[in-house]
Structure 1
């Protein structure tokens, strides 16, 4: 999801860059290392940008992108990010200043190669039930059809998950007339297991509204009182298997449990480890790796299990804080290597104007994920 604002940034992320302007382009090409020549591009103008050391460079620099969900379709890498825009709205912990209105899809033949921006793939005005805020999407492919899953607030200001379809991985996508029955909150992440079954993970607390669903029904009456107390079990993300048509759930949505080494659910006050938002699932050597953001403590963490439903046992942090409030990621295998797609605020130094990046994800001999310093 788009991340929330806090007045204090992690020490690792402190850097003052001048704001940059943004231009819209229907289709552009750049590389992961070049500086855009267009004077309207979102590259930083501050001299500090030349001395700041980053692990990777933005994939595109002429629009702001975030929350990248990456997939390999027909041998090509496709990235489904949020499209950040300047709205002028004041920042708050509900993320109201993240008022994105469309999606651009990016693609490239290989890591480090040219990146193509395929323009607008879906606009909020073409989603019949949508109200506001098109947040972090994901995508899937089955039987000749591409599926774009997206969170957006409905006309009652409640986040739901929608689905749109296309015969092309780059769209344009046509949205279904209603949200997915039983869907809730934000950050859909779609995982197809080795047996062909497909699952959707979803959820994010605070502005993502997941804490408002603790009883199984939406309750927005006292939002600040609905997050569990520090000594209570944390709110877990949700998961459900998708049906054959990939447009609805084949079963009721259930809560995912993230537990410690003793099998106890992580507590709400354990904000260095508990789930906040940005779930992703991948499988490695027969083991399920559930990765997520801790939100207000700015880490990417992971937990492992033996079933796509969990429970997942917390294993540790695998990415330190990026520049910006927090991050949202995806992990994908490409030509025998694993990569993580993520975002920071290198181009703007503004929490709500982000840029997507990619770097290799490395593992230790025991399968644990090596720590990344972005």
Structure 2
């Protein structure tokens, strides 16, 4: 049957909108930008109708340390083409931050019609900012830290690398910490702690390999009823994972997601949308890149029939722009 051209023309805009909402397969190992960035926090925000990726801005640091003071945002309609959307906020949003505090691995969440930004500030505090938009307008949601090493029992020596997970029952959790993983429930307002800070227990880490331990970069996601706790083993780090039947664990070690990379740090996040799964990570992928000048890339994530995560083979590539 022949379809009149005028009908096809009418369908094109609708098809374009539908396709924009579908995530395609991003090129494996390709940096999402020609600008240095690290510590990915990726999200699909239905209200904003797009993918949003918050990052540490390695392009604005000294090249000798992770000393940037602003975070960076990248957006995409399809997970393939990413646009640099600038700096959504800086450390200066938090008036309580000590002079010289740095902007490290960020996190974000959407709830209550608001966008929440969780910010490790200075290595000893985690702040939370809020906005009506995902791309800016953030203000301090509390006027004091959400987590403070000096104030909060069991916050740990370095409360950094926040990762927020909202379970199907609506309960929100925040994971964080170096060397000893921590978790705390959040109240529905997303800016208040709900109960004590707990240690995340991981059973089965192989004693025969002292490199396989918890180092940093905790992340939680759920897939087919199983809770997956992924993390970096340290410096240098592999991305390892453990599973449990509850977001509070205890977790059982299962294996390696990403092997050692060319740089010391390793920081991942997993995004599931429309039946597909991806792991975001960073490595030295651009000319001049290295331990302080990293680049975020994306790779598909696959599961075995037993719920295991298949180890991801990452390869270097070229930037998208």
TM-score grouping bracket, smaller chain normalisation: 0.7 to 0.9
Equivalences, count: 276
8 Å CA contact 1:331–1:339 kept in 2: the answer is yes
How far apart are residue 341 of structure 1 and its match?
Answer: 0.8
How much has 1:103 moved relative to structure 2?
1.0
- Is the contact between residue 140 and residue 148 of structure 1 (CA under 8 Å) also seen in structure 2? yes
Partner SS for 1:125? helix
1:21-32 correspondence to structure 2 within 5 Å:
none
Alignment partners' CA distance in 1, 2:313 and 2:275 = 22
SS at match of 2:72: strand
Report the alpha carbon displacement of residue 56 of structure 1 after superposing the two structures with TM: 1.5
> Which residue number corresponds to residue 38 of structure 2?
66
Structure 1 stretches of 5 or more lacking a match? Answer: 1-31, 34-54, 91-96, 206-235
Alignment correspondent of 1:37: none
Task: Please state how far the C-alpha of 1:85 moved relative to its aligned partner.
Answer: 3.6
Structure 2, unmatched stretches of 5+, are 1-25, 315-321
* Displacement after TM superposition at 1:314 (Å): 0.4
Q: What is residue 102 of structure 2 aligned with on the other side?
A: 133
Aligned twin of 2:249: 310
Structure 1 partner of 2:6 = none
C-alpha distance in 2 between matches for 1:362 and 1:89: 35
Query: Does structure 1 retain, via aligned residues, the 8 Å contact 2:171–2:185?
Result: yes
**1:188 corresponds to:** 162
Q: Is the 8 A contact 1:129 1:178 kept in 2?
A: yes
Is the CA contact 1:271–1:296 (under 8 Å) kept in the aligned structure 2? no
In structure 2, the CA distance between the partners of 1:190 and 1:87, relative to structure 1 (3 Å rule), is closer
2:25 matches 1:56: no
Tell me the distance in 2 between the aligned counterparts of 1:149 and 1:142.
13
SS of match in other structure, 2:37: strand
Partner Cα distance (1:141, 1:89) in 2: 32
The TM-score normalised by the length of structure 2 is 0.81
Q: Is the 8 A contact 1:324 1:349 kept in 2?
A: no
Deviation at 1:266, TM superposition (A): 6.8
Matched-pair contact (CA < 8 Å) for 2:236–2:263: no
Q: CA deviation at 1:180?
A: 0.9
Change in 2 beyond 3 A, CA 1:294/1:350: same
Aligned residue for 2:199? 255
Tell me the distance in 1 between the aligned counterparts of 2:203 and 2:219: 17
C-alpha distance in 2 between matches for 1:88 and 1:243? 37
Q: Is structure 2 residue 292 aligned with structure 1 residue 352?
A: yes
1:99 is displaced (CA, Å) by: 0.6
Give the TM-score, by structure 1 length.
0.70
Q: Does 1:342 align with 2:281?
A: yes
The equivalent residue for 1:332 is: 271
1:65-104 paired onto structure 2 within 5 Å: 65-74=37-46, 75-85=49-59, 87-88=61-62, 90=64, 97-104=65-72
RMSD across aligned positions (CA): 2.0
SS in 2 for 1:130: coil
Alpha-carbon separation, structure 2, partners of 1:319 and 1:372: 5
Paired residues for 1:1-374 under 5 Å:
55-61=28-34, 63-74=35-46, 75-85=49-59, 87-88=61-62, 90=64, 97-112=65-80, 114-131=81-98, 132-153=101-122, 159-176=124-141, 177-181=143-147, 182=152, 185-205=159-179, 236-260=180-204, 270-347=209-286, 348-374=288-314
Conservation of the 8 A alpha-carbon contact between 1:271 and 1:297? no
Bigger CA drift: 102-111 or 179-188? 179-188
Q: Cα distance 1:146–1:87, how it changes in 2: closer, same or farther (>3 A)? A: closer
